[in-house]
A and B are shown apart, each in its own frame.
Chain A
């Protein structure tokens, strides 16, 4: 396997607070990696820094042999890194098809954007099918439910065919069926993409994760297969342990 993303000594700070504090992370091509950790562990900030939304104070982010730090957000996307957000943001006034079509057109020369869209490209129809929104194509994205919006976002990402997908809590706020559906979607995507998923929901992580990286207070705490990580006493203390404490409290009280 070849390394696609190599992060070394990454530091991101906001007014002196080091949200990401010396992270080293290596992602292999074709891998699906889950990033977990308690609130404020720096998971989202890490993704923000990779994609150019937050400025790094130190370190390097090497993607496919190229430094990403210092690039603008849209340049990072053009290098082949796509991301979604915790709260799905789709263009509500545009139809579902138009949302995906705009995502698909990002490599077109600017001049050709001045022409109208004629019909629906095969690639767009395929992605609509894949994320299960085929019958909602002509409707404004604003009419979609929360879960459907998240799928639309994932669809917008897929149609761009990025080499690396960064998904920020894709199942947050979803119903049980939607989680299952999203998990299956993720497994399908992971077959031919490299995916990094931030996730909070431990049930979801247990079901769909193989390799897990635990972040804590801006640092990588440990890394490995989910079963191994769960058995790690330090991880239990900072993260899983706290949840156990809470359940213990609830049972006692």
Chain B
């Protein structure tokens, strides 16, 4: 009985700390940041928040579910292209083909593009297409019990193949240049700082929503089951669950989040191209999460914003140095702080707890359990 009390009390207290923390950060994102940053910096911040949305998804799939996905750029790209196609068709006007197509000699709107004339197709497609692709891939791969490094390589190959496809089909996809020259979105001028400010709020709100969704999933029985599959997939089978379903859901949700991020990215940055979603960007996405700490959800968000901020500011000064530094950071974190930045905070909190509890006798915090083998009936 003694043992159970501190744990239970700490649990509810931690929930409240979590809620308070989330409210403070959300307030900061929605009030403080837009009030203090210049238009230019705010636009950069919007981009970082788009990346943070991807990172939350990776935190769910990799951090909780143990699925190291090196192809998240594909889902980011699917969402981005879905949005880009819609905006391009809006700009071209009804019945016309987008500018880059006429340069490639494509006169008639390709079949694949036609549904994207309509917002009611394009907007849901932003989330549904990446989710469906991830679910199909996941169902095939997880059922055959492919996991670990093999899964990682497979997703990376998917990213490589996707880029080749995009570049090869220039007439339909804009090739290496991707889709660009966006001036308007939904009737708003994208060059207008006020509209960019609105986009910031939309992105920040989406990030908050995605974060809450992931947190609910993690706290639910499903979330516990996901951790269980990560740590002992075989054992989960013998509890009567089909691990494939559990993994497919997490992978698919993470893909949907990346798709959403891609769609927001397009009006914010004004371009979606193969260079933004290939093998290297996909690996970078995982690095953000590793640096921030994959065991929590705050870690990935922190990692995405911090790494991209550092990238922007440092690559201005040392254009060629950034990649080396990023690689070095990755090695250091994996080697010395496997739980990332958020993990460091965790160490600090544990150390504080220990200090605070030190006057109490040792067995109270459960350390005596290992020795105590006699169990009262």
Contacts and interface: CB of A to CB of B under 8 A. Distances in A.
Contact of B4 (A113, A135, A175): A135
B237 A74 contact: yes
Contact of A132 (B222, B237, B240, B376): B376
Contacts, number: 109
A160 B239 CA distance: 8
B238 A83 contact: yes
Nearest to A175: B373
Given A93-B227, A136-B369, A143-B370, A105 B221 contact: yes
Given A94-B228, A139-B3, A178 B219 contact: no
Interface in A129-181: 132-133, 135-139, 143-145, 147-148, 151, 156, 160, 175, 177-178, 181
Nearest to B366: A139
B38 interface: no
Nearest to B249: A110
Interface size class of A (residues with CB under 8 A): 35 or more
A103 interface: yes
A73 B238 contact: yes
B215 to A, nearest CB: 11
Given A83-B238, A113-B220, A102 B231 contact: no
Interface string A75-108: 0011000110100011111100010011101111
A74 B370 contact: no
Contacts of A92: 231
B153 interface: no
Contacts of B225: 102, 113
A114 B220 CA distance: 5
Most buried by A among B11, B216, B231, B234: B231
B1 interface: yes
A145 B232 CA distance: 18
Interface residues of B, number: 36
B8 interface: yes
A102 B227 CA distance: 11
Nearest to A174: B373
For chain B, what secondary structure do more than half of its interface residues adopt (helix, strand, loop), or is it mixed?
helix
B119 interface: no
B241 interface: yes
B375 interface: yes
B224 to A, nearest CB: 5
Contacts of B8: 138
Nearest to B222: A113
Interface string B345-377: 000000000000000000000100110011111
A91 B231 contact: yes
Contact of A145 (B4, B228, B241, B370): B370
Given A91-B231, A91-B232, A102-B221, A144 B369 contact: yes
Interface of B: 1-4, 7-8, 11, 216-217, 219-222, 224-225, 227-228, 231-232, 234-235, 237-242, 245, 366, 369-370, 373-377
6 contacts: A72-B242, A74-B239, A90-B235, A98-B224, A107-B240, A135-B3
Given A113-B220, A117-B224, A144-B369, 18 more contacts: A51-B238, A74-B237, A77-B237, A85-B235, A89-B234, A90-B232, A91-B228, A94-B228, A105-B221, A108-B221, A132-B375, A135-B2, A135-B4, A139-B7, A139-B366, A145-B370, A160-B240, A178-B373
Interface of A: 51, 72-74, 77-78, 82-83, 85, 89-94, 98, 101-103, 105-108, 110, 113-117, 132-133, 135-139, 143-145, 147-148, 151, 156, 160, 175, 177-178, 181
